Amino acid sequence: MAGTNSGGVYRSNINDINWVPANTGLSGSTINCFAVNDSGIFVGTQGSGISYSTNNGANWSKINNGLGNKTVTCLAISGTNIFAGTYGFGIFISTNNGSSWEQVNNGLKKYYVRSLTSYGKYILAGIDDDGVYLSTDNGTIWKSINDGLTETIISSFLINGTKIFASAKGGIWWRNLLEVTSTKETYSYNIISKFYLKQNYPNPFNPTTNIGFQIANFGFVSLKVYDIFGREVATLVNEEKRTGNYEVEFNGSGLSSGIYFYKLYTKNYTSVKKMILMK
C-alpha cells in the first residue's frame, strides 16, 4: 500500500511490480499517513480526515465522527486505541476503532502535530515549535520531555529497545525511554554521616520497585540500571544532590523478566546491588 500526494492510495501484491489505484470510497486524494490494526487499514488525509478499509483497500469508508474534515498528519495505534494527530487541532483518540473521535489535548501548548508513535502504554507526540510530548495514560495528560533537545520540529520517531530516537531538521537525537517514564523520587533531610545504597523493595518485583540511598555530602550522583550483560537500560538519577535520604521508584514495565543490577556512583562512593524483575 502506498499513499500519494494527489492520486490517493495505490496497492500492489508483494511479488507484483505493478501498482493499481485503490481509491473506491476514499475521501481525499493527498495521503499523509497509514496505520494498521487487526481489523483494517486507516489513512489520514490532507483536509478530508480519516478513511478506513476492512478489505485491503478495495473499498474505503469515511470515519470522521467527532473529528471533522481535518488534515490528519499522523496516526498511531496503542492496544485498542487509535490516535490521530492533526495540523492545528491537536490530538484525537478513538476507543472504538474509529467510529467516533475525541480531542485529548490536556497539557499541550500548541496543536500542530507532526508525528506520533506508540510503545506499549506510552504515546509520543512531535509538536511543531514545541518539541516532544509524552502521555502515559492514553492521552489524558501530555507532558513536555524536551531536556537536551535543541530542535522543536520533530518529523518522526523510532523506539528501539529502551531508546527514543527523534528526527528533526538539525539531525537525530536520542533519549532513554525509561528515563522519562519509570522514575518517581522522594527526599527527606537528616544528618547523614555516610553514603549508603539500600536493597530495593519489593524484590523480586513486577513491574515497580523502590530503591533507597543516602547522600552524605552535596555533589554529583548517578544511579543507573544495567542488564545482566552490563548494558545500561535506565538512568534514574544523573545530577547534583544535597545531603539527605532519597528513594526512587523504578518501573520495569518495558523490560523483560530477569536479573538486573543498579549502581550508585558519587565522587566518594560506589555501590552495586542486584534485583530481579519477575513477570
C-alpha separations of 123 from 63, 116, 120 in Å: 22, 7, 8
Average pLDDT over residues 2-11: 88
Over residues 201-219, the mean pLDDT reads 92
> What's 7's DSSP letter?
S
The per-residue pLDDT for 98 is 92
pTM of the model: 0.66
pLDDT of residue 182: 60
Q: What is the pLDDT of residue 179?
A: 67
Predicted local distance difference test score (pLDDT) of residue 73:
95
Question: What is the rounded average pLDDT for all residues in the chain?
Answer: 87
In the chain, CATH 2.130.10.10 covers 2-178
Residues of the chain with pLDDT > 90: what percent?
45
Q: How confident is the model at residue 160 (pLDDT cuts 50, 70, 90)?
A: confident
Please determine, for residue 181, whether its predicted confidence score (pLDDT) is greater than 80.
no
Residue 258: the pLDDT is: 94
What pLDDT, on a 0 to 100 scale, did the predictor assign at position 72? Answer: 95
pLDDT at 125: 93
> Which of 18-22, 65-69, 97-101 has maximum average pLDDT?
97-101
Quick one: which of 147, 203, 199, 201 has its CA closest to 176?
A: 147
In DSSP notation, 173-221 reads EEEEHHHHHSEEEEEE-----S-EEPPPBSSSBSSEEEEEEEESSSEEE
Residues carrying CATH 2.60.40.1930, the chain: 182-277
CATH class of 182-277: mainly beta
Specify the higher pLDDT residue, 173 or 181: 173
Architecture of domain 2-178: 7 Propeller (2.130)
pLDDT at position 202:
95
The region of weakest confidence among 85-89, 141-145, 261-265 is 141-145
Cell numbers at 97, concatenated? 476503532
**Confidence at 184, pLDDT banded by 50, 70, 90:** low
Higher pLDDT: 175 or 187? It is 175
Please write the tens of the pLDDT for every residue from 82-126.
999 999 999 999 999 999 999 999 889 999 999 999 877 778 999
CB 165 within 8 A of CB 172: yes
Q: Which residue matches cell numbers 478530508?
A: 48
Question: What pLDDT, on a 0 to 100 scale, did the predictor assign at position 186?
Answer: 63
Mean pLDDT of 119-147: 85
Count CB-CB contacts under 10 A for residue 105: 15
- Per-residue pLDDT at 187: 58
The reported pLDDT for the residue numbered 69 is 83
pLDDT of amino acid 178 = 67
